[in-house]
Structure formats: C-alpha cells, structure tokens
Chains A and B, each alone.
Chain A
Amino acid sequence: MNADRGPAPAFRALQRAIVRRRVEALEPVLRLELAAIAALAGGFVFWQARLPLDHAARAGGAPDAAGALAARLALLALAGAALAAGRHAWVLREGPPGPPWLALPIPPAALAGHLAWASSLHALWVAVPAVAVLAAGFGLVPVAWLAGLAAAFAAALWGLARAAIAATTALAVVAAEPRRGAPALHRVLARAPRRARGARMPAARFRGGPAWRAMARKDVRVTARPGPARARARAAAACAALAAAAWAPGLERGLAPTAGAALSLFAGALVAQWLVALAGADPPGIVRALPLGTRDMWGVRAGWAVAAALVLAALQAPALAALARDGAAMLLAVAGGGSLAVGLLGASLAVSLHPRTDHARRLLGLWLGLALAASLMIPLLGWVVLLAALAHALRRVPRWRAPEAA
C-alpha cells in the first residue's frame, strides 16, 4: 500500500480483481444456465407487469403508465436495498470474508467503504426484474421517459442500498460492546468471531446397530441442521404439500390430476436434489476411510427415494375416489413411479460421482430436462429417456468402491 495515497487505490484494484474473478469463476455452461434462469424470471416479471401497465396506459395515457412503472421500480429499489442490508448484517455478525482486516493498517473509514461496496453488490439481484419491468413499458411509455426512469432507478438503488448499509452498520455499532479508544467498526468486527462460537447441540448418543442405520440417522441429522440438504428437503416438502393441495375441496377438479401429477414429479426432482445434497455433505476423507460399502451408501439413499415416492403417491390418494380406476392408476403411477425413478436417479448419480456433487447435480438436471423435452415432443418418450438414464446410473453405482478422484 502506498502510504502517501492511502488505501483507496489498493481497494479499487482489489474490487476490480474480485469482480473479474467472480465472472471468470462462472463456467461457460453455468453462464448459459444463469442466463436461461434470468430469461425465465425476466419473462415471468414482464408478463406480470405488462398487463397492469397496459391497463394504466389505456385508462390515463402515458403519464399513468409511467407512474405505475415508477412505483414498481421504487419497490424493486427498496427490495435491492433490503438485500444489501441483509448481507451487510450477516457480514458484520459472522465476520467479513478476506484477510484478517483488523490486523492490517487500514483506516476504519476505508475498510467500512470496502465492506459497504461488497454488500451493495447484492442489490444488483433486482436488476433482472427491473429490466423486465422497463421492457414491459415499451410502447406504453415514451422511450425518453423510460431512459429517465432507468437512470432514476439506478440512482435510487445505489442511494437506498448505501443508506440501508449505513443504517445496518449504525445498528451494529450500537449493539457492540463499548471499548475506549477502539473505532466503532473495529468494535463490531472484533465481536464477530466471538459471537460465532458457543452454539450448542444436543449431546451425542451412541446407539450401535448396523452401519446403514448409522448413515440413515446421520442423514436425518444433516437434513435437520441449516445447510443445502435442509433447503432442498424443505422445498421438496412444500412441493409435495402443493401436490396434495391440488385435491383440496373447492378447487377446480378438472385440473387436479394434471396439477397433482406435475407437482408430484417436481417434488420427486427436489427429493433427488436433496439426495445429491446429502451425498455432497459426505466428506470423502471420512466416508471413504470408514467401512461403508455400496449397500450402506447407496442403499440408504435409495431407501429415502422409495419412502419419498410412497409419501408422494399416498398424497394423491384422494384421486382414487375422484377419478375413474384407469385415471387413478395412471396418476399414482406418475406420482409414485415417476418420483421413485427420479429419486433413484439422483441417489445413484450422487453415489457414483461422489465427491463431485456439482457434476451429479448437473447430470441430474440434464437428464430431467431431456426427459421433459422428450415428453413434450412425443408422449411417453420422456419415460424412455428417464428409465434409460436410471439404468445407466444404476450400472455406475458399484464405482463407489473404487473412486476415480476422491
């Protein structure tokens, strides 16, 4: 660091490097995936915004449409600021990423500025819906007005995010222990590592029994604690509840079989993702050095897939009363059999590709995407694709015994 110029040039260089590295870290395939997700989300927001804006334009002309557009952009700017503030609160609580900042000769204001910059990047998540909302205004609001609204949105997002971050910092400073002579930010950051310790869990219990049962109990505990496995399990449970709700009294019965089947399959896909996340939590240094065979590793996860499929099929039981026998059988086959195949596919990919969880997740997504596309083109072809994928993945399961690159 050049003492004459202060740390500002060093931080600017660091921030440029961080942005560059984050972009470089995205593989080409991942960039395409993110672009596809952004396009889907943007398209959804576009259609949600277009109809009300069109209604406003018909009722009060361009000024009314511009007002409605500005209101939506203001909400998005507030949401972006909230995201940045939430991230900043987390950073101050858990400690900022990077070097041991407090050990470096950096003025507190410069460090605060850098941490605020890093947190403010999270406000950019609202850029996608904002672009979609602005696109929804095309043809309803003059282009010059749209340009002005876009500039105003960018300025509001930046200003609100910085204000929210400053407020978060001020709150953290108030909550920090008073310490004479220590700068406010240093008091907050010095507290972060201490606060991160001390959480306690229930005392461990030694139960004995076969190894597969120990694996199953461990899977339950890992799912119960915060982490990717719990997030996937919760999403699957929510989707399964929605699938059951398709048969709730008062809803359109004609749509129930399709909605129930589709949501059950989607829940099955989320169960498969949960199984991949569980395998991703398995440290190679532990599970490969322990006497755990294919039966323990794959058998337990396959067991979870079977249990989930049974639950998903049971949740469609109301169809037995509401549908003809053939229709009910078809629905149960899709809800139970389809989700079983998808779950087993996830379990098999996760075990055979362990510890490459990202590969398992992508391969699962690829197979499911192919099956869906095949189903849309030719009825039942999706099942052929899915079962072929499952057969291929099952053949690879014994690779657990001989890892290629553990």
Chain B
Amino acid sequence: MRLRLASLTRRYGALVALDGVSLEAAPGEIVGLLGANGAGKSTLLRTVAGLQPPDAGRVWVDGVDLEADPVGARRRLGYAAEEPSFYEELSGGEHLAFTADVHGLPPAEAGARAADLAARLGLAGRLDEPVRRWSHGMRKKLSFACAVLHRPPVVLCDEALESFDAAAALAAKDELRARARAGAAVLFSSHVTETMERLCDRVVLLHLGRVVGVVPRAAWGRPDDGPSPLEREFLSLLRSPTGGPAA
C-alpha cells in the first residue's frame, strides 16, 4: 500500500474531528474524500501530511511510519493545501526552487519540471512576482505545483482544484492521473462531486470524523475522463485567434 491509515483519531478539545479513521490507498489509485463541511476531511489530510500529530492511530506513507520517521515520510508525499500559505517575501519561482532543493531534485530536472508545471497551470510569466501579490487561485495553483513537483509516491489534495480556472483544472487532473499511472496514490478531497466522479477510482464518505461508506467507481459508472462540453467550448475559445493560446 502506498498510504495506510490505522485508527486515526484527532481531537480539538471536546470535539472529535477524526474518530478512528482507517484507510488504505494502493499504488495507482485515486481515492476521493467526500463529506460535508466539518466532516474531518482537512483534519485528515493535515494529519497525514504531518502538519498536526494524531491523538491516536498511525500513518504509513509508502511504507514509512510518519511518527517514527517524519522526514522520511514527508520526502515521499506532496501536499496541496486548501488555504496555502507561503513565504510572502519570495516569488512563485523561488518557492518552486526551494521545494525542489529541499527534496534534493537535480537542478536541471527540477527547473524543467517546474517550467512545465507552471506552463500547464497558467503560472508561466508570473513566476518572478512575489506571491503576496497573487490571487487566491494562483496561490492554490502554486501549492499544487509544489506538491507534485518531485513526483511523490503519495499526493494529498485538500480541495486543491477549487479556485482553478477550467484550463488549469484540466491540467491538474491530467497531472494527478499521470501520477497515478506512474504508481502514486492520490488522496483527493473536494466538495465538487462532478470532479470526484471524473477523477477518482473510489470515494470514501466521511461524516463527523468517521468513515461511513466507501463507494467504488463502478457505482457511478465511468464518465468521460476528458473535458465536459462546456469545458471544451471554453478551451476552444481560449485557443482561438481572438482568445489567445490556452495556458
């Protein structure tokens, strides 16, 4: 298993945000996390990312125990935050370079990969600006780019594609599918069920911190992985001579 959670529990005072959640994600699998506001999706992903310790339970990232070897586990995961925070003094490009350097990526490979991601997500041309001047959507794109830059075996996406424009959302979904095809496991939380239907192999339903159901993809069929009719129309407009090239 790429990702394994065993009886994960997290409390905030009297509130039990996660109540013994157990979950597994196999190589190549995109697992959706669906739940209402306050269901515990963000708490689960923040705990798996190592941003906050669980009160009980354990997490293994690509076989590495998060508690016993937090640095080794974090080396194997990428985390795209719901509300990303950055070094406000640095530019987007400097964040990508910092992330690549911390992961020990070879400079030439990292630079090419960062440029490719930036172009596909519509960040090219803005990477030399300080992130404090960026819109919320651009900050979320940068968080996503940093999460997948080093091609981690486990990708955690906390409502990561919300605020993306249509072209960037399609590119991000393509990137997640490519990561999965390469053997990574993706844990993907969202409120947008349509995105879940198109992207995920399996959806875990969270309610009040508990897993209340698991829905396999067979239950909702297999919709077309490509863009919807509206997205196709939008992309064709972007690519038209008056709309300019698509990002």
**Chain A positions near chain B (C-beta within 8 angstroms):** 196-211, 213-215, 217-218, 221-222, 225-227, 229, 281-286, 288-293, 296, 401-403, 405-406
Contacts and interface: CB of A to CB of B under 8 A. Distances in A.
Interface string B110-137: 1100100000000000011110010000
A208 B71 CA distance: 18
A291 B154 CA distance: 14
Contact of A285 (B51, B99, B128): B51
A213 B101 contact: yes
19 contacts: A200-B128, A201-B91, A201-B130, A204-B96, A206-B107, A206-B110, A206-B111, A207-B101, A208-B106, A222-B87, A225-B90, A229-B89, A281-B89, A283-B86, A286-B87, A289-B79, A291-B102, A291-B103, A403-B52
Nearest to A204: B93
B86 A208 contact: no
A214 to B, nearest CB: 3
A401 B105 CA distance: 23
Nearest to B134: A197
A218 B71 contact: no
Contacts of B146: 286
A208 B98 contact: no
Given A203-B93, A208-B106, 13 more contacts: A196-B133, A200-B128, A201-B93, A204-B94, A205-B97, A209-B104, A225-B130, A281-B89, A283-B86, A285-B83, A286-B87, A289-B51, A403-B52
A199 B97 contact: no
Contacts of B85: 283-286
A203 B114 CA distance: 13
A288 B51 contact: yes
Contacts of A285: 51, 79, 81, 83-85
Contact of A197 (B71, B96, B111, B129): B129
> Would you call the interface of chain A mostly helix, strand, loop, or mixed?
loop
A401 B70 contact: yes
A206 B100 contact: yes
A290 B102 contact: yes
A402 B71 contact: no
Contacts, number: 134
B223 interface: no
Contacts of B183: none
Nearest to A281: B87
Interface of B: 49-53, 70-72, 74-75, 77, 79, 81, 83-91, 93-108, 110-111, 114, 127-130, 133, 146
Interface centre among A210, A226, A291 (most CB of B within 10 A): A291
A351 to B, nearest CB: 15
A204 to B, nearest CB: 3
A203 B71 contact: no
Interface centre among A198, A200, A206 (most CB of B within 10 A): A206
Query: Top 5 closest A-B pairs, CB basis?
Result: A204-B93, A214-B101, A283-B85, A225-B89, A291-B75
Given A286-B85, A289-B74, A403-B51, A214 B129 contact: no
Contacts of B105: 206, 208
A382 to B, nearest CB: 35
Contact of B72 (A196, A201, A210, A291): A291
A198 B129 contact: yes
A289 B102 contact: no
B133 A197 contact: yes
Nearest to A208: B107
Contacts of B84: 285
B104 A211 contact: yes
Contacts of A288: 49-51
Contacts of A222: 87, 89-90
A222 to B, nearest CB: 5
A205 B129 CA distance: 14
Nearest to A401: B70
A125 B77 CA distance: 49
A201 B89 CA distance: 10
Nearest to A196: B133
A403 B107 CA distance: 31
A221 B94 contact: yes
Contacts of B81: 285, 289
A216 B133 CA distance: 24
Interface centre among B49, B53, B94 (most CB of A within 10 A): B94
A226 B97 contact: no
Contacts of B127: 203-204
A211 B104 CA distance: 7
Contacts of A281: 87-89
A208 B130 contact: no
Contacts of A221: 89-90, 94
Contacts of A202: 128
A406 B52 contact: yes
A290 B110 CA distance: 16
A402 to B, nearest CB: 5
Given A206-B114, A405-B52, A214 B102 contact: yes
Contact of A208 (B74, B87, B104): B104
Given A197-B129, A199-B130, A288-B51, A208 B101 contact: yes
A204 B131 CA distance: 13
Nearest to B113: A206
Contact of A206 (B70, B71, B101, B133): B101
A201 B94 contact: yes
Given A221-B89, A225-B89, A200 B101 contact: no
A283 B87 CA distance: 7
A76 to B, nearest CB: 35
Contacts of A196: 133
